[in-house]
Amino acid sequence: MNSPSTRDAARCIQDCLTCFRTCLAAAMNFCLEAGGRHIAPVHIRLMTGCADVCRTTAAYLLSSTPFYEELCRACAAVCEACAADCDSVGKMDDCAEACRRCAESCRQMVAEEVGQTAEPMPA
C-alpha cells in the first residue's frame, strides 16, 4: 500500500519532532558547554544533522508528500548512528533514546509500505 496508516504516521511525526528538539537542544546547550568528547566535530554534526533530517521527515509526513518513505529511510539511518554515537560519547541517554525511538518509527513506516509489519529494515 502507498499510504501509511494514520496512526503510525501520527506516531512517527511525534517521534521525529521529539528527536528534533532533543538533539538540537542537547547539541547546542549541553554538548557545547560540556566540551571534551561532546564537541568532537563528528558528534556535533551527527546531532545537528539528526535534528535536521527529523524535521524534514516530519514535514513530509505532515504534508502527505510523496516519497516520505525515502525520507524515513534516511532518517532511520541517521538516528541509529546518532544514538550509537551518543552511547559512545556518554551522558547522552535521553538523546540516544529519542533517536532510537524515532529510528524505530521511521523503519515501521518503510516496512508498512511493502506490506510487512514490524520487521526492521536492513541498515
> Which residue ranges make up the site for its own copies (CB under 8 A)?
13, 17, 21, 24-25, 28-29, 32-33, 35, 39, 41-42, 44-46, 48-49, 52-53, 55-56, 58-60, 62-67, 70-71, 73-74, 77-78, 81
Q: Which is nearer to its own copies, 55 or 97 (CB)?
A: 55
Sign of CA dihedral 39, 28, 73, 5: positive
Distance, in Å, from the CA atom of 48 to the CA atom of 41, rounded to the nearest integer, reads: 11
To the nearest whole angstrom, how small is the minimum distance from the Cβ of residue 55 to its own copies? 7
In sequence order, what are the residues at sequence separation of 6 or more whose Cβ sits closer than 8 angstroms to the Cβ of residue 75? 16, 53, 54, 56, 57, 102, 103, 106
Number of neighbours of residue 106 by Cβ within 10 angstroms: 31
To the nearest whole angstrom, how small is the minimum distance from the Cβ of residue 71 to its own copies? 6
To the nearest whole angstrom, how small is the minimum distance from the Cβ of residue 53 to its own copies? 6
Which cell numbers in the block locate residue 48?
545537528
Q: Which is nearer to its own copies, 62 or 117 (CB)?
A: 62
